[in-house]
Structure 1
């Protein structure tokens, strides 16, 4: 009698097994997708230099100053390398002129009567999934021109310094970057969403990365 399972129990047992199988398949697909997107993100990161401007604080004044500093830094960066520059050329130009880029931001702060110090460095930063006008970049580590104003405790401003997607008159589209060989056609489709609703998948990969970080 102890091993007897009533008909209703058999049905529930089979139903639970189907749910367990569905969950296992879903988890497996998520892992495969996460691994694929992770590889795509790393390949994409190898072709990009992000721009990361960090405000002193979240006050209205500091946030407005952040945007003015952004404009000053972009104006100087735009003169350092042409749109058709290679990644190595752009990286070298930024690395060799960090003091000038910081000075461009500092001039803006000083002109507005501020006392915060502006610093600039070329470093690796972790970025969340970010949607721009016409394209999105998945979460992950990227090389970045990082500009910090004062204590750097305010909200950030992100964009892309190379390819020059944010550089005023020198700006270009993802399609332009692909034609210039700065992105592959597959990467261009990935970040513009032409091959599917990737922003949602980027968010899933971001969540997976955060969970992995918690457990590690």
Structure 2
């Protein structure tokens, strides 16, 4: 009986310690989400050409926004910068799409959406692990937006080359947040992801993009026009 009481006491104490530890971890994960602005690009389809185009759009957008986001010292400033740049982002995406010979539509907006647990390498070694959950994000939808996505972090600028990413993240995340970010993938991250999936199900569904016809390269459109004139 005495051994049973000791076992129960130890088990209770352990549960309290673990619960307290996880609660603290989860609280820091919440802070990380609130201090982070994500970037999400959806391709028109999963065709090889559309997936390649998605990456070209990504590169063009990151190039025109880098200087503006570099000036932001807080997530709130980054959001203001994003809102001010939506037209510039859309223009860069459209210019890239047209230069590649496509006429896909482009939607650019800021939203709040779910991201899974994600790792980003650090130049100094190791990686940052961002917890799963709902993040504010700048989202680009190309055409029907029915293809696989690409995502990263606009603030701090983890989309930049690793050396620059290290510097911006180190300067903008708190020591407590960096401790969690650098802890690597572990059981607590898995538990956070499991819990956040429940929140995702309860969240308001995102609007379904209106399908758009598959875009036709400009060269083919010109050929069709010429053929119709011949007729």
* TM-score, normalised relative to structure 1: 0.75
Q: Which residue number in structure 2 is paired with residue 186 of structure 1?
A: 176
For the 8 Å contact 1:41–1:138, the answer to whether it is kept is yes
Tell me the distance in 1 between the aligned counterparts of 2:64 and 2:198.
39
Cα deviation digits, residues 174-202 of structure 1 (max 9, x gap): x5433x3x111111121122xxx444421
Q: Which residue number in structure 2 is paired with residue 171 of structure 1?
A: 164
Q: Which residue number in structure 2 is paired with residue 124 of structure 1?
A: 112
The Cα of 1:204 is off from its aligned counterpart by 2.5
Q: Which residue number in structure 2 is paired with residue 136 of structure 1?
A: 129
Cα deviation digits, residues 36-69 of structure 1 (max 9, x gap): 4432222111211111111111111111111111
For the 8 Å contact 1:75–1:167, the answer to whether it is kept is no
Q: Secondary structure at the match of 1:145?
A: strand
The Cα of 1:79 is off from its aligned counterpart by 2.9
Q: Which residue number in structure 2 is paired with residue 154 of structure 1?
A: 147
Tell me the distance in 2 between the aligned counterparts of 1:165 and 1:184.
16
Q: Which runs of 5+ in 1 are unaligned?
A: 1-13
Match of 1:208 among 190, 195, 199: 195
Q: Which residue number in structure 2 is paired with residue 39 of structure 1?
A: 27
For the 8 Å contact 2:156–2:168, the answer to whether it is kept is no
Distance 1:96 1:215, change over 3 A: closer
For the 8 Å contact 1:164–1:170, the answer to whether it is kept is no
Q: Which residue number in structure 2 is paired with residue 4 of structure 1?
A: none
Q: Which runs of 5+ in 2 are unaligned?
A: 122-126, 204-231
After superposition, the CA RMSD in angstroms is 3.1
The Cα of 1:32 is off from its aligned counterpart by 5.4
The Cα of 1:128 is off from its aligned counterpart by 0.8
For the 8 Å contact 2:42–2:149, the answer to whether it is kept is yes
